Amino acid sequence: MNIEHLRTFLDVSQTGSFHRSADRLNVSQSTVSARIKALEDRLDRTLFNRMKNGVTVTGAGQRLWRHADVAVRAWEQGRQTLSLPDTMRASCALGVQQALAEWLAPEW
């Protein structure tokens, strides 16, 4: 199973449209269709009801959604972790006003 297939599945689920998802993912509509078809073939389930004005998620698609979301998030976290230098153990994000940030950490 390809992570891009799952990412595409999640996006189509959100937009309700292969065309809108293609625009958002910067791929062709035929690529979106091929990814969804490959996923449906692999799972032997129909994930979307196709209609003239878009698509809706089937029961099987609804059951897959949570697992696909977890898998895509885990993949992204893994990629992010591996992109950090080996000497870095963790990261911390702070949200502060610019003036306070310059006072707290001028050398950063």
Task: Tell me, yes or no, whether 50 lies in a domain.
Answer: yes
Q: For residue 18, is pLDDT > 80?
A: yes
Exposed/middle/buried for 25, CB within 10 Å: 0-12, 13-18, 19+?
middle
Task: Tell me, yes or no, whether 66 lies in a domain.
Answer: yes
Task: Tell me, yes or no, whether 54 lies in a domain.
Answer: yes
Exposed/middle/buried for 12, CB within 10 Å: 0-12, 13-18, 19+?
buried
Predicted TM-score (pTM) of the model is 0.76
Task: Tell me, yes or no, whether 36 lies in a domain.
Answer: yes
Task: Tell me, yes or no, whether 48 lies in a domain.
Answer: yes
Q: What are the tens digits of pLDDT across the range 64-90?
A: 999 999 999 999 988 888 887 777 766
| Residue-range definition of the domain harbouring residue 49 | 3-83
Measure CA 101 to chain center. 32
Query: What's the pLDDT at 80?
Result: 86
Q: What are the tens digits of pLDDT across the range 25-42?
A: 999 999 999 999 999 999
Task: Tell me, yes or no, whether 41 lies in a domain.
Answer: yes
- All residues at 6 or more sequence positions from 33 whose CB lies less than 8 Å from its CB, including other chains: 18
Query: What's the pLDDT at 56?
Result: 97
Domains: count for the chain? 1
CATH number of 54's domain: 1.10.10.10
Contact status, residue 56 vs residue 48, Cβ threshold 8 Å:
yes
Contact status, residue 25 vs residue 15, Cβ threshold 8 Å:
no
Amino acid identity of residue 19, one-letter, is: H
